Amino acid sequence: MHIKRFLAADMRSAMRDIRAELGADAVILSSQAMDNGIEVIAAMDYDDELMGAGEDGSSLELPVHTAAQTNGASAYGRVAGALNEANVATRAGDGNVAALENEIKDMRRLLETQLASLAWNDLGHARPLKMRVLRQLSRIGIDPVLSEQIADAVPPMTKPGDAWRVAISQLANRISVTSSDAIEAAGVLAIVGPTGVGKTTTIAKIAARFALQHGVKSLALVSTDTFRIGAREQLLTFARILGVPMHVAESARDLRAVLDQLKRCKLVLIDTAGMSQRDIGLAQQFATLRPEGHDVTTLLALSAATERSAMRQVIDSFRPAAPRALVLTKLDEAVSLGPALSAVVQSELPIAYLADGQRVPEDLQPARGQRPWLLRRAVELAREYAAPQREDELALTFGELELAANG
């Protein structure tokens, strides 16, 4: 392991010097502020030859370093201590190379965490306005990568009191909504999505809205759900209440035959089976929605109460269904709208409808004109439910992004 001391004006300059001389796999062992800049101790990462060192462990020894300590011990000192303990174990005949590798990995994670903390602190000194915006966006649950993009879009000369307003405006501009009500376009409309997001209830709400505006004679409901008897019965109950026919299609051929019968209808609404985003039956469901000779418009129902990573999985898994827009459901159950707003922006899909309750059809609104309400609601939920922010978590999240952006 080759260790070298670097002096630079700031951490970014030090990182460039380290990368140029030691390569991208170099490990930061310690860093400390100096009168004229920053001192960084870096080392070449271990390799197979190092791991295959002799039993005396001599190649694992690190030279003693007497740099100033932070809170009683430097990162370098902790790494050296850990490696010396592993060295003693090796000399004693333990020979547990896997344990030694894990020890080094743990130390590397520790150092990466400390480096991210340094980058976060540097950001606070160099761009306090950006740090302030990142804190606020994080509080309402916006995805870190999206938060970085929005914060970078806030002009550096913006007054601190105006920064949040500018950031919210940037976020609003990234949220796309459909320009018209889906039922105004009419045709054949299918709602897809995972189990429990409110697809059948959304179908009922859209059907009721259409019936109020255009009557029931040109409306029909279709179920392709061959898995849940309860869901089919629920849709049948809605159909009876509205006084419209309900049909069942179990395959693309069945759906084609049904749609052939319903050509005179202005709106045909298709309720689909709720499946997990990991269900292998998704492909079959998507194939059912491609009946020959008919154009089916697909909307993806996404629950606002779903956590961020699951939303990404849902959107990715249902991409093959070619959804043209989203229906954001269960807004009344969400304790944070940041994850949902992030998913909407990153999916690059517009929102067609917002559903914030179970009432039919009152609790369904076209999304156009609703972006200000969505953002106000996101801020209100953050004030009511957001947990206190932890500085170490902010530093780890955004510090790593800063390092990646400037590495």
The residue-averaged pLDDT of 37-48 equals 66
Q: Which domain holds residue 66?
A: 3-126
Question: Do residues 361 and 397 both lie within one domain?
Answer: no
Residues 6+ away with beta carbon under 8 Å from 112 = 28, 400
Question: Do residues 73 and 139 both lie within one domain?
Answer: no
- For residue 301, report the phi and psi dihedrals to the nearest 5 degrees: -85, 125
- Band (pLDDT 50/70/90 cuts) for residue 73 is very low
Shortest CA distance to 266 belongs to which of 205, 178, 207? 207
Q: What is the mean pLDDT of the chain?
A: 80
CB 103 within 8 A of CB 112: no
**Inter-residue long-range contacts of 148-154, CB under 8 Å, 24+ positions, other chains counted:** 148/398, 148/401, 148/405, 150/174, 154/129, 154/130
Tell the burial category of 223 from Cβ atoms under 10 Å away from its Cβ (0-12, 13-18, 19+).
buried
The yes-or-no verdict on residue 59 having pLDDT over 60 is no
How confident is the model over 359-376, as pLDDT tens digits? 888 889 999 989 999 999
CA dihedral 339→327→332→315, nearest 10 degrees, is -30
Question: Do residues 204 and 351 both lie within one domain?
Answer: yes
In angstroms, the CA 173 to CA 229 distance is 42
Q: Which comes out higher in pLDDT, residue 67 or 213?
A: 213
Identify the residue whose tokens are 């009721």. 208
The residue-averaged pLDDT of 65-76 equals 35
The DSSP secondary-structure symbol of 113 reads H
How confident is the model over 78-97, as pLDDT tens digits? 444 444 444 444 444 445 56
Beta bridge partners of 296: 188
- Band (pLDDT 50/70/90 cuts) for residue 192 is very high
Q: What is the pLDDT of residue 279?
A: 56
- pTM, full prediction: 0.72
- Domain assignment present for residue 242? The answer is yes
Give the 3-state secondary structure percentages of the chain, helix then strand then coil, rounded to 5: 50, 15, 35
Q: What is the pLDDT of residue 226?
A: 67
Shortest CA distance to 349 belongs to which of 203, 178, 202, 208? 178
How confident is the model over 238-287, as pLDDT tens digits? 999 999 999 998 888 999 999 999 998 999 999 987 665 555 556 777 77
9-23, 93-107, 260-274, range with the lowest pLDDT: 93-107
Q: Which comes out higher in pLDDT, residue 219 or 23?
A: 219
Residue 377, H or E segment: helix 371-385
Question: Do residues 219 and 304 both lie within one domain?
Answer: yes
Residues 6+ away with beta carbon under 8 Å from 342 = 141, 142, 143, 146, 308, 311
- Domain assignment present for residue 164? The answer is yes
Question: Do residues 144 and 283 both lie within one domain?
Answer: no
- Domain assignment present for residue 29? The answer is yes
Question: Do residues 35 and 64 both lie within one domain?
Answer: yes
Q: What is the pLDDT of residue 76?
A: 41
Residue 352, H or E segment: strand 351-355
The yes-or-no verdict on residue 45 having pLDDT over 60 is no
* CATH for 246: 3.40.50.300
- Domain assignment present for residue 374? The answer is no
Strand-pair category, 267-271 with 187-192: parallel
Q: Which of the listed ranges 16-25, 96-105, 168-177 does the model predict with the highest average pLDDT?
A: 168-177
- Band (pLDDT 50/70/90 cuts) for residue 230 is low
Question: Do residues 266 and 170 both lie within one domain?
Answer: no
How confident is the model over 310-327, as pLDDT tens digits? 999 999 989 988 999 999
> What token pair was written down for 10?
């700031």
Q: What is the pLDDT of residue 24?
A: 67
Burial 186-221 (b: 16+ CB within 10 A, else e): bebbbbbbbeebbbbbbbbbbbbbbbeeeebebbbb
